[in-house]
Chain A
Amino acid sequence: MSALELLLQQLINAVSIGSLYALMAIGLAMVFGILRLINFAHGDLIMVGSYVALLLQVLGLPFPVAAVAGVAASTLAGLAMERVAYRPLRGAHEIAMLLTSFSVTIFLENLAIILFRPTSRPFPAPAVLRSVITMGQLRVAGLDLIAIAVTAVLLAALTLFVRRTNIGIAMRAASQDLLAARLMGINVNRVIATAFAIGSFLAGVVGLLWSARVGKVDPLMGFNPVLKAFVASVIGGLGSLPGAVLGAYVLGGLEILLQGLLPSGLTPYRDALVFAILIALLLLRPNGILGSTEKEKI
């Protein structure tokens, strides 16, 4: 394989994993921007959607139907989460909200363990998702291309939504200043619910792509993706949507780079390095690459 092909191959890997991180990170960033809530339980929405999709496939429904139902289930779960756990905490300290999101995680994961057993189950995916396209020496998984395409479409749609629709503009206003937005007559509860719905919808999509990628689902499957999405949104600046997307692709690139460059004895430590970089970034640019460097006002 020539150097160029190798580069291209790795680039596709980086962009495809970065796309999944981006879809996750947007959900985190949207909610954090408005509520200052780091929603740890966001990862479990991946799990909810994947299990519903799996369940329906086992029951004999075709993949597209199961997929739509899975994404819908994620969205509903996200809305329910907001209504039950986070709405009573409006205005609470950010640590209290973070801890609540931990409880939600523990709740959902243990519920899944009770309902579906703790062991992983194979996730059947249609042939299209399992196909591999060969171009010369290049082997590209169909799933990677689909992930990239789906992300591109969703990002474009989201950009339009945030810029053009009333609720999208209200959402941006709320993330700039929640109180001022409320004083301008914006229905904050509706805006927050919308943010949760969009984020959970995206998490549902990630769930399908992720499960098809690793070929199995398990109750704790949301843990790693949400940690990575955290890192991505911190790189880009917590709360900023373009930042979250940028951070996700930077993280994807970084991971593939480390995977390729680290000596084989050290590759298992890759995630440790990723988190060390996260800590370093928090110190050097706590507001991320795209965040403002403005000091806190007194």
Chain B
Amino acid sequence: MQPESPRGGSPSLPSRLAGPAVSLALLAIILAIASFFAGDYLQRILIIIGINTILVVSLNLSNGFTGVFSLGHVGFMAIGAYTAAVLTLPVSLKVVNLPSLPHWLQQLALPFLPATLIAGLLAMLVAFLVGLSLMRLKGAYISVATLGFLVIVQVILVNWDQVTRGARTFAGVPPHSTLWNVWIWAVVAVYIVWRLGASAFGRDMRAARDNEVAALSLGISVLRSRLLAFCLSAFLTGVAGSLWAHFITSFSPKSFYFTQAFNIITMLVIGGLGSVSGSVIGVFFITVLSELLRNAERGFDLGVFRLPPIYGASQILMAVLFVLVIVFRPAGLLGGREIDVRAILRRLGAPRRGKGAA
């Protein structure tokens, strides 16, 4: 007798591709409409959502799947941003802004894609070196140690004048990030994390997360699976850093510190740790909400009464929301589950079939 799989047999290939295909097609349609009809402002928000998607999905790979709760990923974003920006900055600007850069680097101006790949790889290399030791720690200790990593990166950025311009603004980065290249990277990131989560490696990671001793006794190398997730996630985060740098075009070390770390973690936790679709929803929800709040905090006219601008109010509301989610819905909006596009398609298809039978 054939053992029946809980989902009622493995679906045929076309049916398995239906979910991703529908999602991709929908995304492409939205982007196409946006790139033709949406105004500048809306397009910028869509780009931010794309970049945040990469950041949160890749953070989920480490924090959600392996349970290594890193607070230092913004450090990898910083590494990616500065690396790519130094590589793509036009030579004429480098001579003025970064006069003490080594000559070969000063004369180098790479195109966007290779610079982004190098940025990701460098972030990954650093993650590997740091991870070799950090991934051996447990629980809250990892969080504290990765926070230490973030401080170290910050101190280096502020003081390494000849490459980063120190605490001053790093400006003049060419605006290479577009709606399309950002979202292509976002799709790649989601695809990688989603496939990895469903693979044997993903199961190893979750096993090590849920019970380290049991995983070890089954022959799973906890260190290796954590390290792999950490490095891959750092690569994607570095890429996102590059995309962000070429979107915002001027930034300073302050952009990559505690506030940004908290923003990304908020999106992750609100979406639900360990769920890729949860991450995407968390990003969408929080990015749109914080954009609305940011507009509101500039103050607005209520006719008779004018609300004064209250800068910082959006952060306060976000913090309150975050605590409420942790208290009342600790597993996040999706609770670690995935949205099953195929199931939704079936449900959408069902009424029609029902009508035909009646």
A interface residues with partner B (beta carbon < 8 Å):
36, 38, 85, 88-89, 92-96, 98-100, 102-104, 106-107, 110-111, 113-114, 223, 227, 230-231, 234, 268-269, 271-272, 275-276, 278-280, 282-283, 286, 298
Cα(A163)–Cα(B151), bound, Å: 37
4 other contacts beyond A103-B326, A106-B259, A106-B262, with CB at 8 A cut-off?
A: A100-B323, A107-B320, A271-B151, A272-B156
Q: For chains A and B in complex, what number of residue pairs have CB atoms within 8 angstroms?
A: 108
Instruction: Chain B residues near A88: list those with CB within 8 A.
Output: 327
Write the nearest CB–CB distance from B218 to chain A, whole angstroms. 15
For residue B207, give the distance in angstroms from its CB to the closest CB of chain A: 16
Checking B69, B141, B156, B316 against A282 with a beta-carbon cut-off of 8 angstroms, the contacting residue is B141
- Which B residues are CB-close (under 8 A) to A110? 312-313, 315-316, 319
Q: Considering the chains assembled together, what is the distance between the CA atoms of A223 and B141 in angstroms?
A: 19
Partner of A283, one of B133, B156, B323, B327: B133
- Residues in B with CB closer than 8 Å to A280 are 133
0/1 per residue, B206-250, Cβ < 8 Å to A? Answer: 000000010000000000000000000000000000000000000
Residue of A nearest to B263 (CB): A106
Contact B315 A106 (CB under 8 A): yes
Q: Is the CB of B136 within 8 A of A283?
A: yes
**Given A272-B151, A286-B137, are A92 and B145 neighbors across the interface (CB < 8 Å)?**
no
| Top 4 A-B pairs, shortest CB-CB distance | A110-B312, A275-B148, A272-B155, A103-B319
Report the bound CA distance from A231 to B312 in whole Å.
29
**Chain B: which residue is nearest A287 at the CB level?**
B141
In Å, the complex CA distance between A225 and B158 comes to 19
Contact B141 A286 (CB under 8 A): yes
Q: How far is the CB of A228 from chain B (nearest CB, A)?
A: 10
- The residues of A that contact B69 with a CB separation of less than 8 Å are 95, 98
**B residues within 8 Å of A by Cβ?**
69, 133-134, 136-141, 143-145, 147-149, 151-152, 155-156, 158-159, 213, 258-259, 262, 265, 269, 310-313, 315-316, 318-320, 322-323, 326-327, 330
Contact residue among A102, A106, A230 (Cβ-Cβ distance under 8 Å from B144): A230
Nearest CB in chain B: distance from A31 CB, A: 13
Residues of chain B within 8 A (CB-CB) of A36 are 140
Q: Does the CB pair A107–B330 fall under 8 Å?
A: no
Enumerate chain B residues within 8 angstroms of A298, measured Cβ to Cβ: 213
Whether the pair B312, A113 counts as a contact (CB closer than 8 A) is yes
**A268-B155, A269-B159, A271-B151 known; A278 and B326 CB under 8 Å?**
no
A103 touches B312 (CB 8 A): no
Q: Look across to chain A and name the residue whose beta carbon is closest to the beta carbon of B152.
A: A272
Q: Are A85 and B155 in contact (CB under 8 A)?
A: no
A-B contacts, 29 of them at CB < 8 A, read A88-B327, A95-B139, A98-B143, A100-B322, A102-B265, A103-B323, A106-B319, A107-B315, A107-B316, A110-B313, A111-B312, A113-B311, A114-B311, A114-B313, A227-B151, A231-B148, A268-B155, A268-B158, A272-B156, A275-B149, A276-B152, A279-B145, A279-B148, A280-B133, A282-B137, A282-B141, A283-B133, A283-B137, A286-B141
